[in-house]
Structure 1
Amino acid sequence: MNRTELRFALRLIPFLDSVEDIEDGLVKLRDRRWLVWHPDVMAALFRQDRVLRHPPSRTLSALLGDRSVLWLDGAEHAAYRRTLAPVLRGNRYQALIEEMVERSIAELPSGDPVGLAAWSRKLTLRIIGRIVFGVDDDELLTAFTRWLDCRLGSRVRTLAHRCLTPGATRSDPELDRRLLHRARTAEPPSLAACLPPEDLRDQVVSLLFAGHETTASATAWTVFWIDRTPGLAERLVDDGDLLDATIMESLRLSPPATLAGNRMSEDGMVITPSIYLAHRRAATYPHPHVFDPARTSPPPGAFFPFGGGVRHCPGKDLALTEIRMIVTALLRHRRIRLSIPNPRSPQLRGAAMAPPPSLAMVATCRR
């Protein structure tokens, strides 16, 4: 591993910040591997996505399994997407999301600080847990969270599991057994019933992880930017268009995933799209570090918080529905104030970018 790739692996955000002014929008990480973010390159890459291979993430493949839908290609991947896309539409779950959101807001201690990222992560995991299993099982989801945090809770843990104990990061057999039992016995049949039994473990874990981690981060970042923008919260409650614009601008400036997976050509060239850098390109976005919900629509290839090409997230609509409903309910039922006792860089969980654990939310009842 050369110096550039080592910086990319060990200090991802500082490395990305150090190269964001490169106008060509590409950096060579090592021989036959490139990091890219120029919108023209991204648009062309996504148009050719069907003929490219999609190598698994070294960090996540050991957690999610070799048969995760995130790594499948060709007909297998297309078949899974045909199964998942209609089931993950947000309008199917509005009543469920409302129920879960109201419960989680009611549980917020009035006036006491709560970790914003941890709160949003617990809520979105409850939602996808109900969708996947058909029932509530907070005890099982808590065990899943402990397992995930042990491997992704800090950059040091992530790199240690990736580099020092390769292949040893899958969940323990007991947790696997409990996940599979819950998936197979749900009544009425849930999303898990749509999945092939031979791949069930890997797909269930992938859905639980992908179905809550980035949605939680996107929700927390949206609350963060609303708090940082004076007067915005009061305007959002009854202005759906402004809320949508605020969410999109938060996804631009603080995308919950920094990278959009790997692509590999027939000759072995690996290309890694950078969502983080594409969204902060000064030639595309004037004053790119300024939060501005009034921005005009970007050109093709310049905005892809949910990935692009054939690998764009099939749960995008569900995620946006959750973010809208959570933020709206918070603003209507609570006065929110954020505090950061120990300001730090964003927390990386794999390639996902969450607010730091020190970002605390104080919620008080509206009178």
Structure 2
Amino acid sequence: MNRTELRFALQLIGFLDAVGDFEDGLVKLRDRRWLVWHPDVMAALFRHDRALRHPPSRTLSPLLGNRSVLWLDGEEHTAYRRTLAPVLRGSRYHDLIGEMVERSLAELPSGDPVSLAGWTRKLTLRIMGRIIFGVDDDELLTAFTRWLDRRLGSRVRTLAHRCFTPGTTRFDPHLDRLLLQRARSAEPPALAACLPPDDLRDQIVSLLFAGHETTASATAWTVYWIDRTPGLAEQLLTDETLLDATITESLRLSPPATLAGNRMSDDGMVITPSIYLAHRRAATYENPHTFDPSRKPPPPGAFFPFGGGVRHCPGKDLALTEIRMIVTALLRHRRIRLNAPRSCTPQLRGAAMAPPPSLAMVATCRR
């Protein structure tokens, strides 16, 4: 690993900020590996995505498994997405999401600070748990959270696993057995009935992780930017169009994933698209570091918070539904104030970018 790739691995956000002004929108990480974010390159890359391979993440594949739908290719990947698409359709879950949001709001201590990212993470995991298992099981989801935090909660620990124990899994056999038992006993057994038994563990863990982590981060960042924009919270109570624009701008400036996976050509060239840099490119966006919900729609290849090409997130509709419903309920039923730490440096969990745990939310009931 050369110096450039080491900086990319150890100090991802700092590295991205340092190269963000490169006008050609690409930087060489090492021989035959490039980081790219120019919109023309991105649009072309996504158009030809089916012809490329999608190698597993060295950080996440030891957690999610090599059979995760996130790394499958070709007809196998297409078949899995076709199976999972109906399960992740947001319109199916309005009542479920509303129930989970109401429950989580009721648990918010009035006037006492709670971690914003921690609260959204617990809520979105509950929603995904109900979708997969058909029942509430906070004990199982708490165990899943502890397992995930031990492996992704510290970037140093994450990189140590990646660099010093390459190729080894970081599964928890006991947790895996509990997840599989719960999925197989679900009524109806939505996943267990339609996925190959040997792949079930990897798909459950992938859905639990990807289905809640980025949605939680996107929701927390949206609340953060609303709090930072005077008067916006009150406007959003009466303007649904403005809410969609606010979510879009939050996804632009604070995308829940900094990178959009790896692509590999037949001759071994690896290309890593940077969502973070594409969304902050000065040649594309005027005042790119300013939060502005009134922005005009960007050109193709310049905005892809949920990835692109054949790897675009199949849960996009569900995620947007959750973000809208959570933010709306928060604003209608609570007055929100954030106690921001002196340095609001994003926390990286893999390539996911969340507000730091120290960003506290104080919620009080509206009168």
Normalising by structure 1, report the TM-score.
0.99
TM-fit CA distance, 1:34: 0.2
Between the aligned residues of both structures, percent identity stands at 86
Asked if residue 333 in structure 1 is aligned to residue 333 in structure 2, the reply is yes
Does residue 285 of the first structure (1) align with residue 285 of the second (2)?
Answer: yes
Q: Secondary structure at the match of 1:361?
A: strand
Contact 2:344-2:355 at 8 Å conserved across structures: no
**1:8-87 superposed matches below 5 A:** 8-87=8-87
- SS in structure 2 of the partner of residue 326 of structure 1: helix
Distance in 1, Cα, partners of 2:169 & 2:353 = 20
Correspondence for 2:98: 98
Aligned to 2:152: 152
TM-aligned CA deviation for residue 161 of structure 1: 1.5
1:248 alignment counterpart: 248
- In the alignment, residue 221 of structure 2 is paired with which amino acid? W
Secondary structure of 2:193's counterpart equals helix
Looking at structure 2, the residues matched to 340 and 288 of structure 1 have their Cα atoms a distance apart, in angstroms, of 22
Q: Which runs of 5+ in 1 are unaligned?
A: none
Deviation of 1:186 after TM superposition, in Å, equals 1.0
Q: Aligned pair in 2 of structure 1 residues 112, 98: CA closer, same or farther (>3 Å)? A: same
1:204-223 aligned at under 5 Å gives the runs: 204-223=204-223
For 1:132, the equivalent position in structure 2 comes to 132
The answer to whether the 8 Å contact 2:62/2:171 transfers is no
Alpha-carbon contact 1:342-1:358 (below 8 Å) kept: no
Question: For the Cα contact (< 8 Å) 1:161–1:169, is it kept in 2?
Answer: no
Describe the superposition over 1:53-75 as per-residue Cα deviations: whole angstroms up to 9, x where unpaired.
Answer: 00010000000001000000000
CA distance in 2, matches of 1:113, 1:167: 41
For 2:180 and 2:77, locate their aligned partners in 1 and report how far apart those are by CA, in whole Å.
22
Please name the residue that 2:110 is paired with: 110
Give deviations 1:211-266, integer Å, cap 9, x for gaps: 00000000000000000000000010121110000000000000000000000001
- Maintained 8 Å contact 2:259/2:274: yes
Shift in Å, 1:46: 0.2
Instruction: Report the AA paired with residue 290 of structure 2.
Output: V
Residue 226 of structure 1: aligned partner: 226
1:239 equivalenced with 2:207 (yes/no)? no
Q: Which residue of 2 aligns with 1:172?
A: 172
Contact 1:259–1:275 (Cα < 8 Å) also in 2: yes
Per-residue Cα deviation, 1:323-355 (whole angstroms, up to 9, x for no partner): 000000000000000012342410000000000
Task: Please state how far the C-alpha of 1:168 moved relative to its aligned partner.
Answer: 4.3
Residues 343, 358 of structure 1: 8 Å contact kept? no
- Structure 1 counterpart of 2:294, which letter? A
SS at match of 1:195: coil
Aligned residue in 2 for 1:161: 161
**Partner Cα separation in structure 1 for residue 327 and residue 95 of structure 2:** 16
Aligned residue for 1:363, secondary structure, equals strand
Whether the aligned pair in 2 keeps the contact of 1:59 and 1:158 (CA below 8 Å) is yes
Q: Which amino acid aligns with 2:285?
A: Y
Q: Distance in 2 between matches of 1:168 and 1:138?
A: 29
Report the alpha carbon displacement of residue 193 of structure 1 after superposing the two structures with TM: 3.0
In 2: Cα distance, 1:357 partner to 1:193 partner: 38
CA deviation map 1:34-93 (0-9, x unaligned): 000000000000000000000010000000001000000000000001111122110000
Matches within 5 A, 1:287-306: 287-306=287-306
Q: Report if aligned partners of 1:151, 1:169 keep a CA contact under 8 Å in 2.
A: no
Tell me the amino acid that sits aligned with residue 359 of structure 2: L
Taking the aligned partners of 1:277 and 1:271, their CA distance within structure 2 comes to 14
In structure 1, C-alpha distance between the alignment counterparts of 2:193 and 2:71, rounded to whole Å: 21
The worse-fitting range, judged by mean Cα deviation, of 278-287 and 153-162 is: 153-162
CA displacement 1:160-209 (0-9 Å, x = unmatched):
12112334442211111101100111123234433221200000000000
* Aligned-residue offset at 1:101: 0.3
The residue type paired with residue 160 of structure 2 is A
- Measured in 2, the distance between the counterparts of 1:258 and 1:46 equals 17
| Mapped partners of 2:161, 2:118: distance in 1 | 22
Number of the residue aligned with 1:203: 203
Equivalent-residue separation in structure 1 for 2:32 and 2:101 (angstroms) = 46
Residue pair 2:129, 2:135 contacting (<8 A) in 1 also: yes
What is the alpha-carbon distance in structure 1 between the residues aligned to residue 47 and residue 101 of structure 2?
Answer: 37
1:343 aligns to 2:361 (yes or no): no
Q: In 1, Cα distance between the equivalents of 2:158 and 2:321?
A: 30
TM-score for both structures, normalised by structure 2: 0.99
Task: Give the alignment's Cα RMSD to 1 decimal.
Answer: 0.9
